[in-house]
Amino acid sequence: MTTLSATTVFALALLTAVATGLGALPFLVVRHVTRRRLGQADALAAGLMLAASAVLLVEGWEAGLGLTGLGVAVGVVAVLFVQRFLAGREHLHAGALSGADARRAILIVGVMTAHSFAEGIGVGVAFGGGDALGIFVTIAIALQNVPEGLAIALVLVPAGVGVWQAAGWAVVSSLPQPIFAVPAFMAVEAFAQALPFGLGFAAGAMVAMAFADLLPDAVRQSGWRAAVPVAALAMALGLGMNAVLG
């Protein structure tokens, strides 16, 4: 039984969103990115997203296979639809970005935001099971959010977005976590039933983003001999981090 208020749960979940912005900070040191490095950055981002997807699928499998599978299908279709919708908009702008860079920025921030809905519900449901469980899950998600912020920065910064702007977009992508943690905390049973679909949707969206956008671009810019090992290593590191946190 928890002793915390909804306000406290919101504040703690907000910290997980702030942690996402930390993923952009390595770019304060790394300034110049060549075309080959840009491709490897895409591969690294894809690997991290695939690792996160695998973790979500395992969690969804345990929570409810049918709803998770439905969520995966909807997530894949949603990303492919949005990608197709944006493809014909050559004059699209997103801040300082335009064209293909703007389309990718919108897509990856959107995908990671969708991912955050499920994580927010997870935080709220965990606090419904008691203070200790809620705090543990909150810390784990905050730590996992750092490489997710890095995945966003790996796409935005090489395209010309400032480091602090990329950090800001990373935080924005995680704002659904505190927003959805509170209602999930206050209505645990109802949100727990919807969680498998949310986990599946987020996993499907990230898999589609990785295979339909990031990996093809990584291979195009750095070659498959460089892109595939980087993506595989990033995925292994992401899974290893989750195993340590779990």
Task: Give the C-alpha separation, 16 to 149, whole Å.
Answer: 11
Q: What's the confidence (pLDDT) of residue 1?
A: 54
| pLDDT over 70 (residue 118) | yes
The overall average pLDDT reported for the chain is 84
> How confident is the model over 62-74, as a mean pLDDT?
91
Of the spans 5-14, 153-162, 179-188, 237-246, which averages the highest pLDDT?
5-14
96-103 contacts, C-beta under 8 A, 24 or more apart: 96/160, 96/161, 97/156, 97/159, 97/160, 97/161, 101/159, 101/160
Query: Which pTM does this prediction carry?
Result: 0.75
What per-residue confidence (pLDDT) applies to 2? 59
Q: What percent of the chain has pLDDT over 90?
A: 24
Residues 6+ apart with CB under 8 A from 106: 86, 92, 94
For 175-186, the pLDDT digits (tens) are: 999 998 899 888
Residue 94 DSSP code: E
